[in-house]
Amino acid sequence: MTSPLYQPPVSLPRLNAPPEAQVLIRRARVGDIPRLYELINYYAARGDMLPKTLDQLYNKVRAFIVAEAAGEVVGCASLHVTWADLGEIVSIAVHPDFQGRGLGRLMVEPLLEEARELGITTVFALTLQVGFFSRLGFREVPKLHLPHKIWQDCATCFKQDRCDEVAMIRQV
């Protein structure tokens, strides 16, 4: 998939933030989108997640949480409302220099709280990171338990016939 809107980065730019820098979790801003694009598509190019275009990210900026260290975005995650009682955690990415510090959990927890506040009773993820989501209280389910996801996204996904992601849900 190559277009002017999607050019997967071969590597991530070097960070100025030292790995021991204090991390702040906050809402994403429009100015964060270029870094989100780099992070997400770095992992997408490795086959770890689905790619996102710049227009997709700008359109969904309000749904993203970021991890910031020394003024630089080092991680991101998003909540996508799928149906009246169903939300999806998507696009979790942490810069390799900041992995292993619990940033994924720190970004997902406020998204779960936001789902609760919105009246969403079930949150799910389609993931290759089963251990991570298991530690957050998610459990594996057949993908067919998520018909709204299948109707909205899976039917047009380029991985549709060879999807390797695991469906996991959690009640909130």
Percent composition of the chain: helix, strand, coil (DSSP 3-state, to 5): 40, 30, 35
Structure tokens at 136: 């957050």
**Entry pTM:** 0.87
Give the domain ranges of the chain. 23-171
Using pLDDT thresholds of 50, 70 and 90, give the confidence band for residue 32: very high
Q: Which residues contact 94 (CB under 8 A, 6 or more apart)?
A: 39, 67, 74, 75, 103, 104
Is the predicted pLDDT of residue 122 greater than 60, yes or no? yes
Is 120 a residue whose pLDDT tops 60?
Answer: yes
Given a cut of 90, is residue 99 above it in pLDDT?
Answer: yes
Per-residue model confidence (pLDDT) at position 33: 97
Per CATH, the number for 23-171 is: 3.40.630.30
Which of the two residues, 163 and 59, has the higher pLDDT score?
Answer: 59
